[in-house]
Amino acid sequence: MKNKAVIGIDIGGTGTKLAIVDEEGRILERSSFDTQAQKGGSSFIAAITDAVVELQQRVSSSHTILGIGIGAPACDELAGTISGAANLPFTETLPVRQLVEEQCGLRTRLVNDANVAAIGEGQFGGAKGMSNYALITLGTGLGSGVIVDGKVVIGNHGLASEFGHTFVVRNGRKCGCGQNGCLETYVSATGIKRTVFELMSQYTVDSPLRNYSFHQLSARDITQAAQAGDFLALEAFKLTGETLGYKIADLIVLFDPQAVFLAGGLALAGPLILDPARESLEKHTIAMFKGKSELKLSELGSEDAALLGAASLIYRS
Amino acid sequence: MKNKAVIGIDIGGTGTKLAIVDEEGRILERSSFDTQAQKGGSSFIAAITDAVVELQQRVSSSHTILGIGIGAPACDELAGTISGAANLPFTETLPVRQLVEEQCGLRTRLVNDANVAAIGEGQFGGAKGMSNYALITLGTGLGSGVIVDGKVVIGNHGLASEFGHTFVVRNGRKCGCGQNGCLETYVSATGIKRTVFELMSQYTVDSPLRNYSFHQLSARDITQAAQAGDFLALEAFKLTGETLGYKIADLIVLFDPQAVFLAGGLALAGPLILDPARESLEKHTIAMFKGKSELKLSELGSEDAALLGAASLIYRS
């Protein structure tokens, strides 16, 4: 008898990654293609189909594929569509779930990428066995997924869990969403870069970060500078963590989760972000919630969290 | 054949109210006793039992009582206990659900008072048929209940939905919880009173409110002054509504509810609080959520919302 496996797909603005994942969360085979090389929706769906067929052939003698789980930005989970994604090679409303299901002949689920990472953490990572938790993805923006009673909070229109667009500074930094002071303008790879530039304007201390243009500077550069002891970079992490902990206190009184997990590129900085966030969260937690929720790093590698989460959509359903 | 009815109980710091409620949410009989006249937990439970027995006798020829639903502050819904309530005549952890169930011989449910009002709004009020909504109670403090997929969000320890203790002003007003800047220090009967006193310190304009001591002044006085056109009172409502709308925007991006309802004493001010709150919410709602959630007044009279909600606990289960 063949073993069971599923295909997880992580649709991103740069690359689309696919993997065959077994029931223990092990990645058996991988594949990927350049998202931007596709021209339009049908070309994009064809690229997915080709990759799925090719992956399936690699394990056809040993594994039965149960279905396809897809994590993607800007998707409507209820309708199974992607529309208006800023970084994908199509702008129309594309019925991705239906098209992939039809063309690959496999049961398909499509879920928002931030929710997918939260689901994956519960299936294969640090949230195993938890019914109430949240996961925050610190990438270019700040994504989040919240699990209540074992289910992702989707809301009335499939739009819930936009923690990155809760407010943290009244009339604060301009956000891409049109508002001011959204959390992700302070806490994300882009947010910490903005903080570094603000600090460069406030302090006179020298720093290797003063050699970068805004376009050049990445969160990785800031992390490396902080690890080398750079004052500005350390200060930027401290402020970012403090702000994050302050807002996670809101999440905790609203959802009373067992734990909150940090994932994404900026979480790779580990204690640089986690320590000040924990300290700030502890300080801002009201008495009745003290000691009830943990703030932790995701246990899934940030590279594969979305892929594993996408795969777990099929195992869970 | 007898008709069906349930007993709803609203335990408050001043009075404990009881009612027999039929399946359409009509109150058939009422009763109440002075909470503070009871001395200790067993006296309190005896008072409830006596009132239940007496109420039951009044309808014994026409109605069968299905059970007892209780809304109370400071309760642990999972354990069925009340403990550490600031305004109740006992301080020990009291297994209220079990004691009432045993002594009245009726199936009993015990739920946090803010959640009870939210459940009641769904059963008998403006949220009928909605699966995702929130209710905010503006009383001495700010309570809230959030319904996701038709169920109250309780969280991992039964503590969720403390919207009143999310932060709205960094290092803002001292809160009874020990933190600073909690929403309820600005938006509640007490919060608007604090705002009136702040405004009296900032403006020189005369106002009838300047004749009240802090202890004397009530939200009702402020409402009456505003209705009579008093500048300070109107300004206080404007600021209170603005702050409320600003924070409801956070609720909306997190929960994506179909509607948010306002209840409690301060909501009796109607458009005085609703209009500036709606305007602020509209202004602070990000594009993808525009027009998706309504802010409304509760359709249950604020006097009976908790009673009806408590009764609905039994109809729902």
Quick: pLDDT tens for B72-95.
988 888 889 998 777 788 988 999
B292 token code pair = 């998706």
**Residue pair A71/A306 in contact by the 8 Å Cβ criterion:** yes
- Cα–Cα distance between B193 and B196 in angstroms, integer? 5
Q: What is the pLDDT of residue B188?
A: 96
- Mark yes or no for CB contact A159/B255 under 8 Å: no
Yes or no, beta carbons of B254 and A154 under 8 Å apart: no
- pLDDT of residue A303 exceeding 80: no
Same domain, B111 and B173: no
- Find the helix packing angle between A231-255 and A271-284, rounded to 10°: 50
Report if residue A52 sits inside a domain. yes
Under 8 Å CB-to-CB from B211, ≥6 apart: which residues? none
- Do A191 and A103 sit in the same domain of this protein? no
Mutate to test the interface with B, among A246, A248, A250 (most CBs of B within 10 A): A250
Query: Cβ separation of B250 and A166 shorter than 8 Å?
Result: yes
Map residue A23 onto helix, strand or coil: coil
Distance from CA of A254 to the nearest CA of B (A): 4
How much is the pLDDT for A12? 86
Position B73 scores a pLDDT of: 84
For residue B255, give the nearest of A155, A256, A258 by CB distance: A155
Q: Is residue B192 packed enough to be buried (19+ CB in 10 Å), middle (13-18) or exposed (0-12)?
A: buried
Residue with the larger pLDDT of the pair A85 and A302: A85
Scanning every residue of chain B, which has its alpha carbon at the shortest distance from the alpha carbon of A165? B253
SS3 B140: coil
The pLDDT value given to residue A59: 95
When pLDDT is averaged across residues A89-115 and rounded to a whole number, the result is 93
Task: Looking at the structure, tell me whether residues B116 and B185 fall in a common domain.
Answer: no
Name the packing angle between helices A219-227 and A231-255 (round to 10°).
Answer: 110
3-state SS assignment for residue B257: coil
| Measured distance CA(A106)–CA(A277) in Å, rounded | 42
In a domain, A104, yes or no: yes
Q: Which amino acid is at B20?
A: I
Instruction: Say how far apart CA A134 and CA B214 lie, in whole Å.
Output: 41
- What is the C-alpha separation between A291 and A271, in angstroms, rounded? 19
By residue count, chain B amounts to 317
pLDDT, position B302: 67
In a domain, A293, yes or no: yes
Confidence band for A229, pLDDT divided at 50, 70 and 90: very high
β-bridge mates for residue B64, sequence order: B4
Pair B35, B170 in one domain: no
Residue A238: pLDDT above 90? yes
- Structural domain for B249, as ranges: 129-297
Q: Do A270 and A167 share a structural domain?
A: yes
Report which of A7, A11, A35, A10 is spatially closest to residue A19, judged by C-alpha positions. A7
What DSSP line would sit under A85-135, residue for residue? Answer: -TTSS--S-B-HHHHHHHHHTS-EEEEEHHHHHHHHHHHHSTTTT-SSEEE
Both tokens assigned to B176: 């009874």
Of all residues in chain B, the one with the smallest CA distance to A259 is B156
Task: Note the pLDDT of residue A140.
Answer: 86
Q: Could you count the other beta carbons within 10 Å of the beta carbon of residue B317?
A: 10
A165 near A175, Cβ under 8 Å?
yes
The amino acid that residue A109 corresponds to is R
Residue A83 counted as domain residue? yes
3-state SS assignment for residue B187: coil
Same domain, B38 and B136: no
Same domain assignment for residues A311 and A269: no
**pLDDT given at position A13:** 81
Given CB atoms, is B159 within the 8 Å cutoff of chain A? yes
Q: Touching check for A153 and chain B: CB below 8 Å? A: yes
Mean pLDDT of A83-99: 88
Q: pLDDT-derived band of residue A235, with 50, 70 and 90 as boundaries?
A: very high
| Digit-coded pLDDT (tens) for A39-50 | 999 999 999 999
Considering the domain architecture, whether residues A161 and A292 belong to the same structural domain is answered as: yes
Q: Which residues of A250-264 are buried (b: 16+ CB within 10 A; e: fewer)?
A: bbbbbbbbbbbbbbb
Please indicate, yes or no, whether residues B270 and B308 belong to a single structural domain of this protein.
Answer: no
Q: Tokens 């039951």, residue?
A: B56
Residues of B in contact with A154 (CB under 8 A): 149, 256
The confidence band for A306, taking pLDDT boundaries of 50, 70 and 90, is confident
Q: What is the structure's pLDDT at B35?
A: 92
Residues A134, A260 share a domain: yes
Q: Report the alpha-carbon distance of residue B186 to residue B225 in Å, rounded.
A: 19
- Pick among B130, B135, B162 to test the A interface (most A CBs inside 10 A): B162
Residue A317: predicted pLDDT: 62
Q: What's the mean pLDDT when you consider all of chain A?
A: 94
Strands of A142-148's sheet in order across? A151-152, A142-148, A133-138, A259-263, A294-297
* Distance between CA atoms of residues B291 and A300, nearest Å: 37
A161 has a pLDDT exceeding 90: yes
For tokens 């969720």, name the residue: B160
Amino acid of residue A29: E
Name the residue in chain A with its Cα closest to that of B247: A167
B130: which residues sit within 8 A by CB, 6+ positions away? A156, B122, B147, B258, B259
Total domains in chain A come to 2
pLDDT of residue B317: 62
User: Alpha-carbon distance A229 to A118, whole Å?
Assistant: 33
B186 close to A (CB below 8 A): no
Binned at pLDDT 50, 70 and 90, residue A76 comes out as confident
Give the pLDDT score at B297. Answer: 96
Q: Which of B286, B292, B293, B294 to mutate to test the interface with A (most CBs of A within 10 A)?
A: B286
Compute the CA torsion angle B175, B181, B183, B186 (nearest 10 deg): 80
DSSP-derived letter for residue B14 is S
In CATH, what number is assigned to the domain containing residue A45? 3.30.420.40
Q: Identify whether residues A293 and A310 lie together within a single domain.
A: no
In a domain? residue A125: no
- Point out which residues pair with B260 in neighbouring strands: B134, B295
Residue of B nearest to A248 (CA): B166
**Which pLDDT belongs to residue A302?**
67
pLDDT of residue B190: 95
Q: Is residue A309 part of a domain?
A: yes
Task: Walk along chain B (317 residues) and give the pLDDT tens digit of each residue.
Answer: 789 999 999 998 888 999 999 998 999 999 999 998 999 999 999 999 999 999 999 999 999 999 999 999 888 888 899 987 777 889 889 999 999 999 999 999 999 888 999 999 999 899 999 999 999 999 889 999 999 999 999 999 888 999 999 999 999 999 988 999 999 999 999 999 999 999 999 999 999 999 999 999 999 999 999 999 999 999 999 999 999 999 999 999 999 999 999 998 899 999 999 999 999 999 999 988 999 999 999 998 767 888 999 999 998 76
- Which among B255, B292, B294 is the top mutation candidate for probing chain A, defined by the most A β-carbons within 10 Å of its own β-carbon? B255
Per-residue pLDDT band for A88 (boundaries 50, 70, 90) equals: confident
Residue located via tokens 């039929």: B22
**Mean local confidence (pLDDT), A109-134:** 93
Note the pLDDT of residue A33: 96
Q: Which residues of A touch B254 (CB under 8 A)?
A: 146, 153, 160-163, 166, 251, 254
Q: Do A145 and A42 belong together in one domain?
A: no
